[in-house]
A = this chain, B = another copy of it.
Amino acid sequence: MKATIVTIGDEILIGQIVDTNSGYIAKALDKIGVQTHEMISISDDKKHIVDTFEKLQNNVDLVIITGGLGPTKDDVTKKTFCDYFDDILIEDKVVLAHVTQLIEGIYKRPISQVNKDQALVPSKCTVLFNKMGTAPGMWMKKENTVFVSLPGVPYEMKYLVDNEIVPKIVQEYERPYIIHKTILTYGQGESLVAERIENWENNLPEFIKLAYLPSPGRVRLRLTARGENQEILEKAIQENVESLTKIINDIIVGFDENETIEVVVGRLLASQNKTIATAESCTGGKIAQMLTSVSGASNYFRGSVVSYATDTKISVLGVSADVIKERTVVSHEVASAMAIGVQKVMKTDYAIATTGNAGPNKGDSNAEVGTVFIALATPNEIIVEEFNFGQPREKVIDRTVNKALEMLQKEILKNLQ
């Protein structure tokens, strides 16, 4: 089964908002073996929408459309959708009751005509009931292609994908078998990894594809096997992951799409009943954000102090004003004192602290742009390392975050032995 995801909205084409809906939909489809052939973003323009539908008609099995179902005048999707199927709009009683309950019951406002119009749907469509909002999803088929129109608000779209579309596809369509296996490595660049595994890569079977997904400090390797026989695919993936592991065992940190270093670190902390806190200056809370992005983080993450102002380093973290004066805020000594300080106030086993100059300007400390000190307080010692991560700003921050988590992982593993 082959799908194309279409996003409708001028705001995307002028770069005012980033389309995150398509990625969510593609991931959900991929899990049930539906291949996303293309993603397309087009304008809120009737002709553009119809032209796109016509190009996709009978070329893919499924078209999922998001956006343009809101109550306002610039939302042309529903009318265009209805016209494309030579249909008329009728009022759906269940949807109207839901919209009325939402507006009058929850929002405590009188219902308006604009609100009521949300309950209009093409007469021949299957209504996908939207518990999360006022615009329903609509499922219609023309010749060999199913067209599904969804609201663009992310949590409404997600609700409909998870609770309506995926179950309907699973029930009604046959799909091939797909396995993905992701290997997370860190510490070596894409080219170096590629060279080390060149022979292995050349020997991969035809039905397994390899992709490199690099980001600062880490490379994810993704294997995709596609075919009819689940057993053959699983066996081939397993064998090839084993032979790969022998070659690059020193840089592998995990084996799962969601097996990022923050997941690995989180599991290590949880299994040891250890806790962590962060004190962040140049990373502005991003290490804490990475740690708390993992479900269950509240079991080991106790909190974070984002100390933008120098005063905060002194008053909250207990860094000595003299040390700051003597060594500047971007120094080995301040990083170390921040880590010790947050470890103490948050009463944790481990603590990470960062201080540096991420650029673009030199700032007060006079440290070169790209200079970063990372301190790690463990139950036994304080480790401080100095780096220069170059530029631009976002790369410096990303590399600091990754390096800090990498240092943390190494130390937890060391303390296990």
Report yes or no: B15 in contact with A73, Cβ–Cβ below 8 A. no
Confirm or deny: A71 has a beta carbon within 8 angstroms of a beta carbon on chain B: yes
Confirm or deny: A173 has a beta carbon within 8 angstroms of a beta carbon on chain B: no
Confirm or deny: A17 has a beta carbon within 8 angstroms of a beta carbon on chain B: yes
| Chain B hits for A75, CB < 8 A | 212
Report yes or no: B27 in contact with A112, Cβ–Cβ below 8 A. no
Contact pick for A16, options B27, B73, B189, B214, CB 8 Å: B27
Contact pick for A346, options B26, B213, B316, CB 8 Å: B316
Contact pick for A73, options B180, B182, B201, CB 8 Å: B201
Report yes or no: A15 in contact with B23, Cβ–Cβ below 8 A. yes
| Chain B hits for A217, CB < 8 A | none
Interface residues on A, range: 35 or more
Confirm or deny: A305 has a beta carbon within 8 angstroms of a beta carbon on chain B: yes
Confirm or deny: A1 has a beta carbon within 8 angstroms of a beta carbon on chain B: no
Report yes or no: A211 in contact with B11, Cβ–Cβ below 8 A. yes
| Chain B hits for A44, CB < 8 A | 211
User: How distant is A104 from chain B, measured CB to nearest CB, in Å?
Assistant: 13
- Of all chain B residues, which has the CB nearest A215? B153
Report yes or no: B312 in contact with A308, Cβ–Cβ below 8 A. no
Q: Which of A246-254, A285-293, A374-382, A404-412 contacts B (4 or more CB under 8 A)?
A: A285-293
Contact residues of A with B, CB < 8 Å? 9-20, 22-30, 35-44, 70-75, 106-107, 109, 112, 114-115, 132, 153-155, 158-159, 180, 182, 189-192, 194-195, 201, 209-214, 222, 224, 257, 275, 277, 284-285, 288-289, 292, 297-298, 301-309, 311-312, 315-316, 345-347, 390, 392, 394-395
Q: What are 14 of the A-B contact pairs (CB < 8 Å)?
A: A14-B224, A15-B25, A15-B26, A19-B39, A38-B40, A39-B41, A70-B212, A71-B194, A72-B212, A292-B306, A302-B309, A305-B306, A316-B316, A316-B345
